[in-house]
Structure 1
Amino acid sequence: MTIDRGMVRRDSLEREISANASDEANLRARAGDIVYNMMRMWQGAYGRAPEDCMVSPAYVVLSARSGYSPRFFAHLLREPRPLYWLWAFSHGLTNDRLRLYYRDFTRVPLHAPSLEEQEKIADMLDAMDARVELLLKRAETLSQYRDGVIQQLFSGELRFAPPKGGAYADWIDARLGEVASFAKGRGVSREDIAPEGLTPCIRYGELYTTYGEVIGQVASRTHLDPAGLMLSIAGDVIVPASGEDPLEIASAACVLQDGVALGGDLNIIRSSLDGVFLAYLLRNAKRLEIARLAQGYSVVHLYPHHLKRLKIRFPAQIEEQRHIAAFLQALDRKVAAVRAQAAATRTFKAGLAQRLFV
């Protein structure tokens, strides 16, 4: 039983789960039954059995009586008010020890319309869940396609042709220090962030939480005097200078705007290469190599002299670099759009369900 996916086969999980009970002690669930985890029911740890199966005796199996739709109640129990009641009727000194026994579950006040209306509501909400699942699968498929294309593009296996025909020149092998100069960010702590600040700014932690390979719109601003800051030049590529994990620190993003304050703990790379192309190259094809360059234990560091040694391979002509960068940006926008559709459908469903279950 999972909170985010409902009921799943035990062998589908990426962790090993040992069975503490003998096989004959397990409970039988019929397809469509609602099964819940007594210790996590107040968090929504329940689901409908997708098939006839056996479940742990630590769970409770609920079968709908005549006149009631388990599909309807599977949606109803995720609403804020029913979840509150599930918490209120659970027993335990702290939240991590709460248990909802069946005898207490039977006391939870729930209301339902006629069976016909229950089924209509369940049909509508099931359809919206299916739509969300379809969109998420599409986004995952696009992401996998993106990863495969990136591998082919940066290995030179897949090449673009010039718009007027012919072929681009061969790619060049070099070390990053031979084609780029380096600088460090300056200042801009968390306390310096001000929504009404006049200067847009980027802190190193935002590379992990806010931005992808391209930074078009800057999320934060600061009130600090720009004269004391390190300001971006459009096309700069920034890489964290420190972090907790080597793979986490192996991140890169291209800043598309001039005049953005780049905070401390940021390496700034300026080169004749297209910045967006370089950011995709570093963050994807060179990620593992950059991670190996980082040094440290509890906190790892990445300095310019590390990055200068990095071997890179890139198209000799800036036009091919821009062609690759534009193609990958278009793919990322498509993935983001599909995920946004899934999020919007979830939000619409939540608002609709709230009105239906009043």
Structure 2
Amino acid sequence: MNDGLVHRDKIERRTETTLFADQHLLVRRGDIAYNMMRMWQGACGLADADGLVSPAYVALAPRKNIDSRFAYHWFKSDRMTYLFWAYSHGLTEDRLRLYFDDFAEIPIAPPGLEQQRRIVTVLDAWDRAVIQTERLIAAKRRRKAGLVQHLFLNLPRRPFLGAADVWFSGVDKKSRDNEVSVLLCNYMDVFHNARITAHIEFMQATASKRQIADNSLRKHDVVFTKDSETADEIAEPALVAEDIPNLVCGYHLAVARPREGLGYGPFLAQAMRHQAMRWQFTRLANGVVRFGLTLDALEQAEIFLPPLPVQQRIAAILDAEDTAIEGLAKQAETLRTQKRGLMQKLVGREWQLDNRFDLVPPPPSILAGAAE
């Protein structure tokens, strides 16, 4: 779906098959293989070597008037994925299949071969910029992991509930008490954001004044998941990085408010992400259908808790690393968005490239920002 055709020995999961080799399909370098069930989502890959794929895929060999590198980019465009969906068959979306006979009926009008190659040159440049940025993100994450190991070494531990006041109550978006309009910080907001800021598109809800008083969030609170379908998603923290008016905590979440003079919110959020802390919270969670933490369980939990000035220094170092990673992630998303826009313009023939633009790269400012 995201990485194209991947060699089996590079996949970190079991890949056994009951098929004999001659039951697979041959793809040669430059061919495209697509997943019949997911082509409408752009699930295809360009082969960089000869190999075999399972018969769940369709193997496409380019004709003389098609550059397969262009076709690969083209098949990821919004227009083509829509056509793949329209020509797929199935009762529900999870059963949609695009067979080759139907694929072959899709009406297309590709540009000439030379124009295809010019388009590939431009789009490949954006892909290289995305790959470079993602490598920088990975390097930054490795650097932060090393810093965490060093900074947390030999730090004292104290009871978790001694460092912060914790409560579990929350506001439901379906509240019948329509007294006041509020912003609801929900499970997905916490799970997908290390920091809670006003830039997040919070869900609108209503709550009583009592609910607001009991659940309002303020700067340096740490919101974390108190129950989940999997134990390893328990106690996933997010720091409330700024005061946001009328922001309240939803269900399935808990709030840890640092006690004055003892805990520092940014440090507590970083400490809760530490591998030792993650293992501890997973061990304390219990349940059958959903795993959850209780206040009784949290009474057994400990957390790294050095003196307050040390907490502040450690948090400043690690927060700076997180800010750099977030900036690079936004850079990568900007590049992907730009590529989608370019693809729409170039493939839709709104823009024509001549020989002067054969080597057009992304703007220098984009590449410079990604390389910092």
Q: Give the shorter-chain TM-score range.
A: 0.7 to 0.9
- Counterpart-to-counterpart distance in 1, 2:84 and 2:50: 26
Partner SS, residue 135 of structure 1: helix
Structure 1 counterpart of 2:280, one-letter code: E
Matched, 1:215 2:199: no
Unaligned runs of 5+ in 2: 349-372
Structure 2 partner of 1:136? 134
TM-score, scaled to structure 1: 0.81
> 2:343 pairs with 325, 349, 353, which one?
353
Q: Which has the larger radius of gyration?
A: 1
Query: With CA pairs under 8 Å and 6+ residues apart, which has the higher RCO, 1 or 2?
Result: 2
The structure-2 alpha-carbon separation of the partners of 1:299 and 1:357, relative to structure 1 and needing over 3 Å to count, comes to: same
Q: Give, in angstroms, the shift of residue 76 of structure 1.
A: 1.6
Structure 1 counterpart of 2:34, one-letter code: Y
Structure 2 partner of 1:73? 71
TM-score, scaled to structure 2: 0.78
- Counterpart-to-counterpart distance in 2, 1:255 and 1:101: 49
State whether residues 30 and 53 of structure 1, in contact with CA within 8 Å, keep that contact through their aligned partners in structure 2.
yes
Structure 2 partner of 1:301? 292
Q: Give, in angstroms, the shift of residue 79 of structure 1.
A: 2.2
Matched, 1:155 2:160: no
The structure-2 alpha-carbon separation of the partners of 1:218 and 1:288, relative to structure 1 and needing over 3 Å to count, comes to: farther
Q: Give, in angstroms, the shift of residue 183 of structure 1.
A: 4.3
> 1:326 pairs with 316, 320, 343, which one?
316
Moved more, 35-44 or 46-55: 35-44
> 1:261 pairs with 237, 242, 248, which one?
248
- Counterpart-to-counterpart distance in 1, 2:54 and 2:250: 52
Q: Give, in angstroms, the shift of residue 325 of structure 1.
A: 0.4
> 1:124 pairs with 122, 125, 133, which one?
122
> 1:290 pairs with 272, 281, 287, which one?
281
Q: Give, in angstroms, the shift of residue 216 of structure 1.
A: 4.1
The structure-2 alpha-carbon separation of the partners of 1:94 and 1:224, relative to structure 1 and needing over 3 Å to count, comes to: closer
The structure-2 alpha-carbon separation of the partners of 1:251 and 1:112, relative to structure 1 and needing over 3 Å to count, comes to: closer
- Counterpart-to-counterpart distance in 1, 2:59 and 2:158: 63
- Counterpart-to-counterpart distance in 1, 2:25 and 2:68: 18
The superposition leaves residues 179-230 of structure 1 with CA deviations (integer Å, 9 ceiling, x where unpaired) of 4353425442123599xx6655534563224x31x43437436553445422
Structure 1 partner of 2:306? 315
Matched, 1:245 2:230: yes
Partner SS, residue 303 of structure 2: strand
Q: Give, in angstroms, the shift of residue 50 of structure 1.
A: 0.6
The superposition leaves residues 94-114 of structure 1 with CA deviations (integer Å, 9 ceiling, x where unpaired) of 555544444443332121222
- Counterpart-to-counterpart distance in 1, 2:183 and 2:106: 51
Structure 1 partner of 2:159? 175
The structure-2 alpha-carbon separation of the partners of 1:183 and 1:320, relative to structure 1 and needing over 3 Å to count, comes to: closer
Give the superposed CA RMSD: 3.1
> 2:48 pairs with 34, 47, 50, which one?
50
Structure 1 counterpart of 2:282, one-letter code: A
- Counterpart-to-counterpart distance in 2, 1:282 and 1:249: 11
Matched, 1:273 2:263: yes
The superposition leaves residues 288-340 of structure 1 with CA deviations (integer Å, 9 ceiling, x where unpaired) of 11221223222333233332332333322x22211110111111111111111
Aligned ranges 1:102-117 → 2 under 5 Å: 102-117=100-115
Partner SS, residue 59 of structure 2: strand
State whether residues 253 and 276 of structure 1, in contact with CA within 8 Å, keep that contact through their aligned partners in structure 2.
no
Moved more, 340-349 or 219-228: 219-228
Partner SS, residue 24 of structure 1: helix
Aligned ranges 1:54-65 → 2 under 5 Å: 54-65=52-63
The superposition leaves residues 256-302 of structure 1 with CA deviations (integer Å, 9 ceiling, x where unpaired) of 45675344552434322212111211232412112212232223332
Structure 2 partner of 1:166? none
- Counterpart-to-counterpart distance in 1, 2:319 and 2:133: 20
Q: Give, in angstroms, the shift of residue 31 of structure 1.
A: 1.2
Unaligned runs of 5+ in 1: 157-170
* Identity within the alignment, %: 34
Q: Give, in angstroms, the shift of residue 91 of structure 1.
A: 4.7
- Counterpart-to-counterpart distance in 1, 2:167 and 2:132: 44
